[in-house]
Amino acid sequence: MESEERSRHAASFGAAAVAYAEHRPDYARDAVRWALEPASGRRVLDLGAGTGKLTATLLAEGADVVAVEPDALMLAQLRRTLVDVRALSGSAEAIPLPDAGVDAVVAGNAMHWFDMAVAGPELARVVAPGGVLAGLWNVMDDRVGWVAGLARIAGSAVIGPRDTPTGWRGEVAGIRVPEADGVARFGAPEQELFPHGQRRTAESLVATLATRAGMLVMPEPEREATLGRIRDYLANRPETAEGEFVLPMLTCVLRMRRSPRL
C-alpha cells in the first residue's frame, strides 16, 4: 500500500469510533501474556490504542498502562470507556513519553500503520533496555470453511491478506525496527498464534466488518453492495443464519526483544 493511501486508511477510523468500540473484538489473553512475557517490568504503552480494546485486556492482566492514540475521536471514546487510564494524544512517530519510560510497547491491529523509518528511533527511545515491542492482530480463521467463504464474498478490501493467519505471516514478515548507527536495538521478530473467538450474530458481524478501513474509505454505492453480499451469504449459511455463533479467530503476535545493554 502506498504511503498516501495508507495514511488515508489510517485516518478513516475516527468517524466510526462508536461502532468500533461496540463491535471490534478484544484480544486473546494468552496472546497478551506471551507478548509481555520477556518484559522487564509492568509499565506498558498501548500505542495506536484506538478505543481501548487492547488497553482493557492489558489492564485485566495487571499491567500499568498508558494509552497513546493519534485520532481525536478514537481517543475520546477510549477516555469515555476507560476513565482511569492515562490516555494521551500522540503517534508512533512522536511518542509523548520520556526516554526508557516503559517496559513494553504493544500495538493492537496498528503496527502496520507505523512509518518505521521515523517510528523506529522513537520506539527504541521509550522502551527500557530489556523491554519488548509487540504487535497483536486479530485475524479470521479461514481454515474454517464458512469463514473462507466469507472472505471470498467480502473481498480483499474487507478481509485482506493480513486478516487471515497464512496471509498475516507474510504481511508482517518484513516489519523491523531499523538499526541506529549500525546497531540493532531490537532482536529478530518472533511470531505466535493464539486461538480466539467473538460471539456474533449475522447483523453484528456485518457491523463489525463495516468498521474495517477498506470499508470506511469505500464509495457509498460499493460499500452498500458489499454489505448486501455479506448479509446474503450469512443468511444462507447454516452456521450463521440464526441466532448467535462464535466467529473463529486467532490473535497473532509479532514480538521483538529490546537489547538489555543498549
In the chain (262 residues long), the average pLDDT of successive 10-residue segments reads: 45 68 95 96 97 97 97 95 97 97 97 93 95 97 97 94 92 89 88 97 96 90 96 98 98 95 70
pLDDT of residue 261: 74
CA distance 185 to 43: 19
Name the 3-class secondary structure at 30. helix
pLDDT at 10: 41
Whole-prediction pTM: 0.90
For residue 7, the model assigns a pLDDT of 44
Beta strands in the chain (DSSP E): 43-47, 64-69, 86-89, 102-108, 127-140, 190-200, 245-257
The pLDDT score that the predictor gives to residue 13 is 52
Instruction: Check: CB of residue 132 under 8 Å from CB of residue 104.
Output: yes
Q: CB burial class (10 A; 0-12, 13-18, 19+) of residue 120?
A: buried
**Which residue's entry shows cell 464458512?**
146
Comparing CA positions, the residue from 202, 176, 175, 211 lying closest to residue 25 is 211
Phi, psi of 124 (to 5 degrees): -65, -30
CA–CA separation, 180 vs 110, rounded Å? 23
Residue 132 near residue 42, CB atoms below 8 Å: no
* CA–CA distance, 121 with 101 (Å, rounded to integer): 14
Q: What is the pLDDT of residue 260?
A: 85
pLDDT of residue 179: 86
| Residue 110 falls in which region: left (phi positive, over 0), alpha (psi -120 to 50) or beta | alpha
